[in-house]
Amino acid sequence: MDYYSHAVSVTPNDSTDLTVPAWAFIPATSGTVKITTYWGDTVTVTVVAGYTYNIRTKRIWSTGTTATGIVALW
């Protein structure tokens, strides 16, 4: 089990990275989340509501993201 010290609601954005790279994220609804990883890979992930995705993430894109209520954890 992973433990995090911080959580913040994310507004997906096509031009701005997260203030602090996330160690993981949780979507409130199922759908897709387009991310750029800490190392610069951009990928679209199909997600399930309420599941913690342990992917080091520096950007969550608005284009290509259909899931809502995303919370970044670090």
C-beta of residue 60 within 8 angstroms of C-beta of residue 12: yes
3-state secondary structure of 10: coil
11 in a structural domain:
yes
Number of structural domains in the chain: 1
Residue 1 confidence (pLDDT) = 63
pLDDT class for 2, splitting at 50, 70, 90? Answer: confident
- Provide the domain limits for residue 56: 7-73
1 in a structural domain:
no
Model pTM score = 0.94
Locate 39 and state its tokens.
């190392």
CA distance 8 to 18: 10
3-state secondary structure of 18: coil
Percentage above 90 pLDDT, the chain: 96
